Amino acid sequence: MNTAIMKASIKKELWEFNGMLKWVPITLAGVFIFIPLLSLILNGINFDVLLIELKQVTQVQQTDRLSEFFFVAAIALFSPFIAIGFIVQVYYFVTCLFDERRDQSVMFWRSLPVSDEMTIASKLLTGAIVIPVIFFAAATVLMILMVVLAIIASVILSLGFDISLWGMLASANILSGVGYIWLSLLPIAVWLLPLYSWLMLASVYANKAPFLWAVLPIVALLVIEAIVVHYLHLSEPFFGHFIADYFSITPESLASVSAEQEKSRSAALKILVAQIDYRTVLVSAGLLAATYWFRVNKSES
Amino acid sequence: MSSLISVSGLSKSYGSKKVLSGVNLSLNAGQIVGLVGPNGAGKTTCLQAILGLTDFDGDINVLGHHPRKDRVKMLNDVAYISDVAILPKWLKVSQALSYMKDIHPNFAIEKAQEFLAKTNIAVNDKVKALSKGMVAQLHLALILAIDAKILILDEPTLGLDILTRRQFYNHLLEDFYTEEKCIIVTTHQIEEIEHILTDVAFIQEGKIVLAQSTDDIKERFNLVAVSHEHVGQADELQPLFKNSMMGLTTMLFDSQDKEALQSLGKVTVPSLADVFVGIMNKETC
């Protein structure tokens, strides 16, 4: 695969969705900065109480619990970015092959020496990896900003008030916590590959309303299957069970993995990896092959 | 001379509707071929098959490549402008240039910039801010900057005003055409490009009904302004087309003796549009 063409193709995708991919994470980060600031301005702050509380905190430093606390705080910070990023990803996948057919620019793109395999691969990479990277990066920048503020606060507190937060900051293992979150990016992408592939298929197939094409066939299949299962007195719906089993992270899986893990940070990663199996490969390969076939054979004029 | 494009037995159906039926065409270097036909005759489908954009029955060879199996390699040397304004609205001119430079091995960005400098299009403009004529100019700039051996144009000036249309074809001849290249163009305004065509292929209901050089066509067909008393005599020579207006009958003849025709009235060389109308109306005459 020609990496220069892949790079150019991904760049093209980013140009097309530039507004959304730039302003959504910036707005989200802005909200995270703006809301605490607003609350500070509106409610004011009692410095005497704060100093007493900080002194108490510095006295009960337990490295492990502190590290876990920061990891949970980091996840809390990343979660909105991951969630909104996921909505953006879904929107991207549903429109990425549809929009260029709607405005007929597909005729221009396909008149250039870029293979359909490359086009689909670049769109898949953009949606599954590049978009989450953008949102993870926005969350990380926000995190760095908070750490910088914490360092400035530590300097002021240690020089002016004789309160040392350095030990607490050092034992928080912020870097490794954020590192673990970043490590989950690839397993999430692979785990959700069947969903992404399905959305791309809806995008390349639909002549109108790709969102409906993405949702309605699944709903229809689930309803029909439920009726069949009910009337034929079958034990359980295959398709419904398949979707529920594949996409849900059950308490059992959490318990089984957590029991082996001392730290929850690597446990989350293990759970994600455990969700990936032969179904991921088979379903994704089938749906992507169908997407490729429609891309090559669907008449656009 | 080996053909740059060779099409034989090309057929295509959409369901039960036959769009192309046994099309044979051969295009050589130096040719500018007009593929002319009424709406729905199969022109666009024929070009799309040549470009590998649709499946087909029959054989097509473009520069030694099969358009479907070898599309990407083929497109390194084949450029295409379609009949719709197909540059996406979100694209900036600078982005279009950068993308083409990155993905096309035969794209010369300087040539495109040089061309654009002669227009009112700024590098930072978005396609959505450009008029239809400017979008066509931008598309032409991108395509002319490709050192392609074959240029395929499907109604490239559709919806453009006459000034832009003329400019378009002037640029095509000045900035693209050489004896080593070939251009295939479909248009409804055949009279506007008649002077640049070396060959024409008339297509009707998915079949090529005439494929010849423009010089041969001008030799082969004659337009005669038949005086009233000679109409009966002229009818016996089976004209392709007959048009009576203000007491004068104009008839188009195919491969008739020029001297015999001169006895019927004033003989002139028909335009390609006359021949096209004559061939397309053959059935009704």
Instruction: Please write the tens of the pLDDT for every residue from A140-153.
Output: 999 888 888 878 87
> Which has more pLDDT, A45 or B93?
B93
Taking CA–CA distances from B98, the nearest residue in chain A reads A8
Closest alpha carbon to A116 in A292, A234, A300? A292
DSSP readout, A50-71?
HHHHHHHHHHS--HHHHHHHHH
| A vs B: CB pairs below 8 A | 72
Q: Is the pLDDT of residue A13 over 90?
A: yes
CA B52/CA B78 separation, integer angstroms: 11
Give the pLDDT mean for B229-245: 77
- List the single best residue of A16, A97, A107 to mutate versus B (max B Cβ within 10 A): A107
CB contact under 8 A, A297 and B90: no
Digit-coded pLDDT (tens) for B196-205: 899 999 999 8
Candidates B73, B75, B90; nearest CB to A112: B75
A2 — pLDDT class (breaks 50, 70, 90): confident
DSSP readout, chain B?
---SEEEEEEEEEETTEEEEEEEEEEE-TT-EEEEE--TTSSHHHHHHHHTTSS--EEEEEETTB-TTTTHHHHHTSEEEE-SS--S-TT-BHHHHHHHHHHH-TTB-HHHHHHHHHTSS--TT-BGGGS-HHHHHHHHHHHHHTB--SEEEEESTTTT--HHHHHHHHHHIIIII--TT-EEEEE-S-HHHHGGG-SEEEEEETTEEEEEEEHHHHHHHEEEEEE-GGGHHHHHTT--SEEEEETTEEEEEEES--HHHHHTTEEEEPPPHHHHHHHHHTGGG-
- List the single best residue of B17, B99, B152 to mutate versus A (max A Cβ within 10 A): B99
Whether residue A110 lies within 8 A of chain B, CB to CB, comes out as yes
Q: Which of A50-59, A271-280, B41-50 shows the lowest mean pLDDT across its residues?
A: A50-59
B85 — pLDDT class (breaks 50, 70, 90): low
Taking CA–CA distances from A107, the nearest residue in chain B reads B86
A269 — pLDDT class (breaks 50, 70, 90): confident
Q: Is the pLDDT of residue B153 over 70?
A: yes
CA A180/CA A159 separation, integer angstroms: 33
Q: What is the pLDDT of residue A28?
A: 92
Give the pLDDT mean for B240-249: 78
- What is the percent of chain B where pLDDT is above 90? 42
CB atoms near residue B162 (< 10 Å): 10
- Which sequence spans correspond to the domains of chain B? 5-205, 217-284
CB atoms near residue A9 (< 10 Å): 23
CB A173 within 8 A of CB A261: no
Q: Which of A65-74, A224-233, A271-280, B168-177 shows the lowest mean pLDDT across its residues?
A: A65-74
d(CA B256, nearest CA chain A) in Å = 42
Digit-coded pLDDT (tens) for A42-61: 777 666 666 676 666 666 65
CA B207/CA A46 separation, integer angstroms: 88
B71 contacts on A by Cβ (under 8 Å): 115
Max avg pLDDT among A87-101, A225-239, B25-39: A87-101
A298 — pLDDT class (breaks 50, 70, 90): confident
A179 — pLDDT class (breaks 50, 70, 90): confident
Give the pLDDT mean for A11-37: 92
CB contact under 8 A, A105 and B82: no
Tally the domains of chain A. 1
CB contact under 8 A, A105 and B79: no
Q: Is the pLDDT of residue B147 over 60?
A: yes
Give the pLDDT mean for B230-238: 76
Q: What is the pLDDT of residue B39?
A: 85
Candidates B73, B95, B103; nearest CB to A112: B103
Q: What is the pLDDT of residue B225?
A: 82
Average pLDDT of every residue of chain B? 87
B76 contacts on A by Cβ (under 8 Å): 113
Give the pLDDT mean for B42-52: 90
Q: What is the pLDDT of residue B284?
A: 44
Q: How long a stretch of residues is chain B?
A: 285
Whether residue A65 lies within 8 A of chain B, CB to CB, comes out as no
Whether residue A270 lies within 8 A of chain B, CB to CB, comes out as no
> Which has more pLDDT, A101 or A266?
A101
Give the pLDDT mean for B26-47: 90
Q: Is the pLDDT of residue B257 over 80?
A: no
CB contact under 8 A, B84 and A104: yes
Taking CA–CA distances from A116, the nearest residue in chain B reads B72
A292 — pLDDT class (breaks 50, 70, 90): very high
Q: Is the pLDDT of residue B156 over 50?
A: yes
Give the pLDDT mean for A127-138: 96
Which residues lie closer than 8 Å to B246 by C-beta, 6 or more apart? none
Give the pLDDT mean for B127-156: 90
> Which has more pLDDT, A124 or B268?
A124
CB atoms near residue B43 (< 10 Å): 25
- What is the percent of chain A where pLDDT is above 90? 44
B103 contacts on A by Cβ (under 8 Å): 4-5, 8-9, 112-114
CB contact under 8 A, A113 and B73: yes
> Which has more pLDDT, A98 or A62?
A98
Q: What is the pLDDT of residue A1?
A: 59
Q: What is the pLDDT of residue B218?
A: 87
Q: What is the pLDDT of residue A263?
A: 57
Q: Which of A77-86, B80-89, B140-149 shows the lowest mean pLDDT across its residues?
A: B80-89
A273 is in which domain, residue-wise? 3-297
A282 — pLDDT class (breaks 50, 70, 90): very high
Q: Is the pLDDT of residue B134 over 80?
A: yes
Q: With 0.95 as the threshold, say if the pTM is over it.
A: no
CATH number of B5-205: 3.40.50.300
Digit-coded pLDDT (tens) for A208-255: 999 999 999 999 998 998 888 888 777 777 778 888 878 877 655 555
B75 contacts on A by Cβ (under 8 Å): 111-113
> Which has more pLDDT, B240 or A103?
A103
Q: Is the pLDDT of residue A71 over 90?
A: no
Q: Is the pLDDT of residue B108 over 80?
A: yes
Return the C-alpha torsion angle B161, B163, B169, B171, nearest 10: -130
Average pLDDT of every residue of chain A? 84
> Which has more pLDDT, B100 or B170?
B100
